[in-house]
Structure 1
Amino acid sequence: MKGLFDLQVPAMRPLWLRVTIVLATLAWTGMEIVNGAWGWAALFGAAGLWCVWQFFVTWDEEKVAAKEDR
C-alpha cells in the first residue's frame, strides 16, 4: 500500500520512535475516553491500532531498507 497509510518508511526505522508513536496515540485515546469524546477516541484508537499493525506486525526491515536506497 502506497501513500498516506504506508508507515514503513526509512524515517520510522528507530524502534524508540515507533514505540513512542504507538504509546502517544493510545494514551491520547484514553484521554479522549475519559473526557467523553467518543468520536475522537475512536479516531485516535484506530490510528494507534494501525500503527501497531504497521510497526510491529507487518514491519519488513528489508522493504524499508530498499526504500532508503532509492
Structure 2
Amino acid sequence: MKKFLDTDHPWFRPLWMRILFTAIPAGWGVLEFATGSPFWGTIFLGLAAYAAYGFFFDFNPDRAKQPPPDEPPQP
C-alpha cells in the first residue's frame, strides 16, 4: 500500500525541498483563513502539519530510497 506522502523518496532528501513542501500548504492555509474560508484553511494547515511531522520528526535520510543505477538500454 502506498503512503499518502512518501517521505522515503530521494527527491525529499534536500532540506530545502522538505521546507518548501511544508511551507506552501501552511501559507495557503493562512491565506484561506485570512480570506474567510476556515474549512479550507483547516484542511491546508492539517496537511502542513502532516508534512511537518513526516519531513522533520519521522524523516530519516538514510532510509530514503536510492535512485536505481543507470542501466544500458536492452536491445
Q: TM-score range by the shorter chain?
A: 0.7 to 0.9
More helix by share: 1
Tell me which residue corresponds to 1:50.
50
Tell me which residue corresponds to 1:8.
8
Residue pairs, 1:21-32, within 5 angstroms: 21-32=21-32
> 5+ unaligned residues in a row in structure 2: which ranges?
69-75
Cα deviation digits, residues 25-64 of structure 1 (max 9, x gap):
1111110000111111111011100110011001111110
State how far apart, in whole Å, the 2-side matches of 1:69 and 1:28 are.
31
Tell me which residue corresponds to 2:73.
none
Cα deviation digits, residues 1-26 of structure 1 (max 9, x gap):
74333323111111111111211111
TM-score w.r.t. length of structure 2? 0.78
Q: 1 or 2 for the larger relative contact order (CA 8 Å, sep ≥6)?
A: 1
> 5+ unaligned residues in a row in structure 1: which ranges?
none
TM-score w.r.t. length of structure 1? 0.83
User: How many aligned positions are there?
Assistant: 68
